[in-house]
Amino acid sequence: MRKGQNPAKFVNAVAKPKRITATMLTYIPFLSGFYAETLDVLKVSLDSMRVDAGLPFDLLVFDNGSCPEVRDFLIKEKEASHIQYLILSDKNVGKGGAWNVILAGAPGEIISYADSDVLFSPNWLSRSVEILETYPNVGMVTARPFRTPPEFYSASLDWARDENKARLEDGQFIPWETFLEFNLSLGQTEEENRKVYSETKDWKISYQGVTAMAGGSHWQFTAYKSILQGFLPFEMDKPMGQVRQLDKRMNEAGLLRLMVSDPLTMNLSNTLGYLRGEMGNKQPEKHTSIGKLILELAPIKKVLLTVYNKIFNWYY
């Protein structure tokens, strides 16, 4: 039998979510090896996101089964009101499973998604929303220009060619330094990138006084929630490696996939090397131990990495 009245009945108003929900997906299963610096990367990413984004937003973080140290940090951030919505999964449901929760549950009219290794620059959000609200039929806007597979933005080029008010240009619009900076963060070499840069090109679109580049990425994007929900649920049977289905399906639906014209986000990957100025400037060790040389032998390296991957799969 109920005793008394629920005090909530006498509350006359509730807080309304902001129009934009910035969302982030984290997965840090332990703090050693590949993941040794990733908690520091997460902290830098969250701090940079909140510095002069250009527009107000609520922050939703989905943790995909991280270690206790990461969960404790996120809970403290939530208690300090630095995170408005925190979802803690007790296991890794994969990126597709996390997207199904994030993109359906984020309360904002506009959702801005990022992996937890993104470094943000001032006005990253306002510039993205400007393109989102200026161009018609936009699927996603990424806050950095880089060269993505043309087959995933063919609909954007088709629209620009057919739209009388749009101007479409091709050329080397992304500076070499900007192009290289991002690709080095993916573990690529400068030598291989020189060849790619010389053999590919960018597509720049101008419309209603706003410039955008054709392309986009599932790594970081801003989109209308109503558009994203049309692609749910995502069926992915692997934790990673299948995320391009969002890029592909958006393009097939005739939606525009665009990027801002200058770099307002950066991929930190799993270290803070970029901030330490180490990107592309790693110097060879002056004295390499015999043990290190043995470990670098191809047959031994292959066996050890296979064992490492097997152990990782058993636990995570």
pLDDT grade, residue 302 (50/70/90)? low
The class that CATH gives domain 20-267 is alpha beta
Instruction: Find the distance separating the first CA and the last CA of the chain, reported in whole Å.
Output: 46
- pLDDT tens sequence across 27-68: 999 999 999 999 999 999 999 999 999 999 999 999 999 999
| 3-state helix/strand/coil string of 267-288 | ECCCCCCCCCCCCCCCCCCCCC
User: Which of 121-130, 187-196, 219-228 is predicted with the least confidence, judged by mean pLDDT?
Assistant: 187-196
What's the confidence (pLDDT) of residue 244? Answer: 81
Q: Is the pLDDT of residue 129 over 50?
A: yes
Q: Within 13 Å of residue 164, how many CA atoms lie on the same side as its CB?
A: 0
Q: Is the pLDDT of residue 142 over 80?
A: yes
Are 261 and 213 in contact, with CB atoms under 8 Å apart? yes
What's the whole-number average pLDDT of the chain?
88
Q: Is the pLDDT of residue 113 over 60?
A: yes
What's the confidence (pLDDT) of residue 12? Answer: 67
Residue 111: alpha-carbon gap to chain centroid: 12
Work out the percent of the chain whose per-residue pLDDT is above 90.
73
